[in-house]
A and B are shown apart, each in its own frame.
Chain A
Amino acid sequence: MSELSRTGYHTDKMWVTMGPQHPFSHGLWTLRVKVDGEYILDAEPEVGYLHRGWEKECENRTYAKIIPMADRLCYSASMTWSHLYCKVAEEALDVEVPERAQYLRVVADEICRIQSHLMWLAALGTDLGNLTIFLWCLREREFFLDLNVRLCGQRLTTNYPRIGGVRNDMPYYFERDCMRVVDRFENSLWDIINLTDESSVFVSRLKGISYLTKKQVANLGITGPAMRGCGVDYDVRRDDPYAAYDKLDFEVPVLKDGDAYARYRVRVEEMFQSCEIIRQAFNALQKIPKTAPYRLKVSKKIPAGTHMAHIEDPRGDALMYLVSDGSGSPYRLKVRSPVFVNVSASKAMLDGCRVADIPAVMAMIDMCLGETDR
């Protein structure tokens, strides 16, 4: 878009504030955009309305007490966040998690990924004005939340991983229920795709907007499905495997297109791949005896040192950096939230878009304010 055609409207450029309470924002944050007529010249995200001092609060809690807090970083990716926290503590303690726990974590993580992506698809549906997508996605998501209840007793705040393992072994009926839900979900996801990909309105809202190049993605630090939709072939699960991911066979969807539609397609394919991962993990779990250990006893204190761990969150590359001083609570626990970095790229994403595209573009980073503001 050349400067000439933008100013051809003979309107003043002005800043428009969207948020903190705005239907597109999915939480409390503000997007300030500079518009010239309908076109966006500049964008500035403002976050911090939900700042709770999470990192500081961790410093006066014992290591075990941080796990339920890590759940509350993000309401829909609670399992991966508490998994990440346990992983960094395990790395600091230098313990190896029993195999059964590793597979259970994979199952739990993938359930979490599917339900998080479904929440995102539901929100994308409402952003684009299609309430049926929202209702159908939430209907499917409910089954996965029910699986969470079966596994660990709560729908969202799972508190399931523990330092050195998992909270409890799966109940005897969990595998049966999980397979049923996954089989059912794969069918009904096609129904939802009928609403989205088969609808030329939906596709045309996403196609051809918000192009990002590989170079921009690298410079802005964008991770997760938003990055893979721009042609960068990187997934922590495959390239820096944790838990049991190195023993599982799955594909990482990567698309070269780089527009919002590509990011949408990457996420939908990821849901199918997650179903496959869950199946394979259960196959592997069947070979491990039921009485096998699933939790290690670990020390309450972590020796002094600095440790880092990262895992593939549904939204991107989540990282935690732990500085311990040898006592029972961390000296410092730094969280690198993928959404915080992704949202800072909103200027590059929105450049050249129209005002009406903002919900569609910003939905593609799957905003979650809990982990952004911490």
Chain B
Amino acid sequence: MAMKYLDKYPKKFRGTGGIRPILRVLRTMIKTTLHRPVTILYPYEKEWIPDNYRGRPGLRFDRCIGCGICMRACPTTCITMVDAEDDDGKIVKRPQVNVGRCMMCGYCAEYCPVDAMTTTPDYELAEFTRKDMIYDPRRLAFEGTTEMMEVHLEEHLQSNLDKGIEDKPTAFFDTDRPVLDDDLCIGCSKCAKVCPTSAIEMVVVGQNAKGRDIKRPKLDSTKCVCCENCVIDCPKDALKIEEVL
């Protein structure tokens, strides 16, 4: 390896009478004059941007399961879960984004377990009032969402790599699951109520001294997306997320 610039410069001779500097300047001048303009007339012409451009987040309403992972992943807490009416008129929870506060980090799209949230190439977001910057779930929809706008979380487990398995990318919503501390659980069924995917079912495991049923949550691992709603809402902190690494 050699130095490219330091070997050439500074030049020994830099007299004012030399013809070379003048020729160089002329050559550069002709080159730049013949070059087509490098600027564009912005509002009329726009630069091409790739599909994976990280503009405002966009939501595919029907795919969303209302788990709230995006809300908790957002660094600027600009997402709130609001009640919205789905196509059948049922009230469901869906994310609402305050785009005025959004820093276009793309975390919401990255962590969404069902790829309902995507990044979009929409960057012209100016509005007249700050209230207009709050995008409700329906307004978040983006026409022409393509596959490139989805951000996939493709993580590898260290334990898999140690075993030589390199072709099984996974994500936290595939592997991490809540586990129950049986002694702390009071059987209040709160976790079953907040679970967005109905992965938790309360089952009767026995009867206490007064003859009442003792209920314990039973997790359907295939449905769970590790949204931590149950962990956060548990009044006795009986649930913990078990991380698989």
Roughly how many angstroms separate A332 CA and B57 CA in the complex, as a whole number? 31
Asked if A291 is at the interface of the complex by the 8 Å CB criterion, the answer is yes
Contacts of A292 in B (CB 8 A): 166
Interface residues of A in 254-294 (CB under 8 A from B): 255, 265, 268-269, 272-273, 276, 291-294
In the complex, the chain A residue whose C-beta lies closest to that of B166 is A293
Contacts of B52 in A (CB 8 A): 150, 152-153, 168, 171
Contact bitstring B176-207, A, C-beta under 8 A = 1, else 0: 00000000000000000000000000000000
In the complex, the chain A residue whose C-beta lies closest to that of B157 is A297
A171-B52, A253-B6 known; A153 vs B106 contact (CB < 8 Å): yes
Asked if A251 is at the interface of the complex by the 8 Å CB criterion, the answer is yes
Roughly how many angstroms separate A68 CA and B103 CA in the complex, as a whole number? 8
Contacts of A186 in B (CB 8 A): 4
In the complex, the chain A residue whose C-beta lies closest to that of B75 is A65
Q: Which of A38-46, A195-203, A344-352 contacts B (4 or more CB under 8 A)?
A: A195-203
Asked if A220 is at the interface of the complex by the 8 Å CB criterion, the answer is no
How many A residues touch B, CB cutoff 8 Å? Answer: 52
Roughly how many angstroms separate A298 CA and B28 CA in the complex, as a whole number? 52
Asked if B104 is at the interface of the complex by the 8 Å CB criterion, the answer is yes
Q: Is A251 within 8 A of B2, CB to CB?
A: yes
A333 smallest CB distance to B (angstroms): 15
A interface, over-half SS: loop
Q: Is B155 within 8 A of A295, CB to CB?
A: yes
In the complex, the chain A residue whose C-beta lies closest to that of B14 is A200
Roughly how many angstroms separate A97 CA and B107 CA in the complex, as a whole number? 20
Asked if A139 is at the interface of the complex by the 8 Å CB criterion, the answer is yes
Q: Is B1 within 8 A of A251, CB to CB?
A: yes
What is A's interface to B at a CB cutoff of 8 Å?
A: 61, 64-65, 68-69, 95, 98, 139, 142, 149-150, 152-154, 157, 159, 164-165, 167-169, 171, 186, 191, 193-195, 197-198, 200, 203, 249-251, 253, 255, 265, 268-269, 272-273, 276, 291-300
- 4 tightest Cβ-Cβ pairs between the two chains A and B: A153-B54, A293-B156, A297-B155, A65-B75
Listed by A's residue number, 10 A-B pairs whose Cβ atoms lie within 8 Å are A139-B38, A142-B38, A167-B151, A198-B21, A251-B1, A272-B3, A291-B166, A293-B156, A296-B158, A297-B157
